[in-house]
Amino acid sequence: MRPTSSPVLSHPSDRIATESDPAPTRRAEGLMFLWLAFLVWPLIAIGSVSAYGFSIWMYQLLTH
């Protein structure tokens, strides 16, 4: 007997695209680009540079 597949346990890549799955609109893609380009990535860049600077500062504090 073959096990039945459960939709809860299935992998997202196993899903079959249907007509009920709406494609993202051009406006939604534009808003997502703006969100990433002007908020998310600058915050990640500032955070990573800050963390690097903090690690150098702590290294110098502990070794000199």
The 10s digit of each residue's pLDDT in 46-64 is 999 999 999 999 999 999 8
* Whole-number pLDDT of residue 53: 98
* Whole-number pLDDT of residue 15: 65
Non-local CB neighbours of 5 within 8 Å, separated by 6+ positions? 14
Summarised one tens digit per residue, pLDDT across range 10-47 is 666 666 666 676 888 999 999 999 999 999 999 999 99
Domain residues of the chain, as ranges? Answer: 40-64
- State which amino acid sits at residue 5: S
For residue 15 the two structure tokens come to: 């899903």
**How far is the C-alpha of 48 from the C-alpha of 58, rounded, in Å?**
15
* Whole-number pLDDT of residue 50: 98
